[in-house]
């Protein structure tokens, strides 16, 4: 079974999960250069429910929110890597700057973001809470980021 799905496929899966009373957890991100912080975050996110759906920003979306030199890793490879992590059940992608439309369609039971996001500013919080769901945050273990990794590489390879 390929865990990389379209939004339409996820909506069908969501119906089945809802009828089986499975708690669906949703999170999102660029996941450009995968690092230990990402793996820890996704592992902890999965612990909030039964099924973890990860929405990944498309390449054009990453360019809009990061800069024109990103992503480093193309969407197909990022989705493949994320989909092969033990904690992740399904992966979808989105082209917008935020996953609001995905959240509006899926209406997950639990919406998860990093603790660097104040709960009041988490995109989709209104949808999830209005449907009786919960919004959770996860503290980062090492504050590692793709941006920091890129800066470290550039620094180490300066002439």
pLDDT tens digit sequence for 33-77: 888 889 999 999 999 999 999 999 999 999 999 888 889 999 999
Pick the CATH number of 7-156 from 3.40.50.620, 3.20.20.140, 3.40.50.300, 3.10.400.10: 3.40.50.620
Chain centroid to Cα 97, Å, comes to 13
In this predicted structure, what is the pLDDT of residue 116?
A: 87
15-18 long-range contacts, Cβ below 8 Å, gap at least 24? 17/50, 17/51
In 3D, which of 45, 28, 24 has the Cα closest to residue 96? 28
In this predicted structure, what is the pLDDT of residue 159?
A: 64
Report the number of secondary-structure helices (H) and strands (E) in the chain: 7, 5
Q: 147 pLDDT exceeds 80? A: no
**Segment 86-105 mean pLDDT:** 98
Q: 95 pLDDT exceeds 90? A: yes
In this predicted structure, what is the pLDDT of residue 132?
A: 98
Q: 129 pLDDT exceeds 80? A: yes
Residue 105 phi/psi, 5-degree rounding, is -80, -45
Q: What are 137's strand-pairing partners? A: 113
Q: Strands 24-29 and 110-114, how do they pair?
A: parallel
pTM of the predicted protein model: 0.92
**Can you tell me the distance from the alpha carbon of 25 to that of 138, in angstroms, rounded to the nearest whole number?**
13
**Can you tell me the distance from the alpha carbon of 37 to that of 44, in angstroms, rounded to the nearest whole number?**
11
Q: 141 pLDDT exceeds 80? A: no
In this predicted structure, what is the pLDDT of residue 152?
A: 82
- Max distance between CA atoms of the chain, in angstroms, equals 59
Give residue 150's pLDDT band: very low, low, confident or very high (50, 70, 90). confident
The domain ranges of the chain are 7-156
């Amino acid at each position: 079974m390929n865990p990389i799905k379209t939004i339409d496929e996820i909506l069908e899966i969501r119906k089945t999960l809802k009828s089986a009373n499975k708690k669906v957890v949703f999170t999102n991100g660029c996941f450009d250069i995968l690092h230990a912080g990402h793996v820890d975050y996704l592992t902890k996110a999965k612990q909030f429910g039964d099924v973890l759906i990860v929405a990944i920003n498309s390449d054009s979306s990453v360019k809009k929110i990061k800069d024109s030199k990103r992503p480093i890793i193309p969407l197909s490879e990022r989705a493949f890597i994320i989909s092969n992590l033990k904690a992740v059940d399904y992966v979808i992608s989105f082209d917008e700057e935020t996953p609001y439309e995905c959240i509006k369609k899926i209406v997950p039971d639990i919406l998860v973001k990093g603790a660097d996001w104040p709960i009041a500013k988490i995109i989709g919080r209104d949808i999830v809470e209005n449907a009786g769901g919960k919004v959770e945050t996860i503290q980062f273990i090492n504050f590692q980021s793709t941006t920091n990794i890129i800066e470290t590489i550039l620094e180490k390879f300066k002439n």
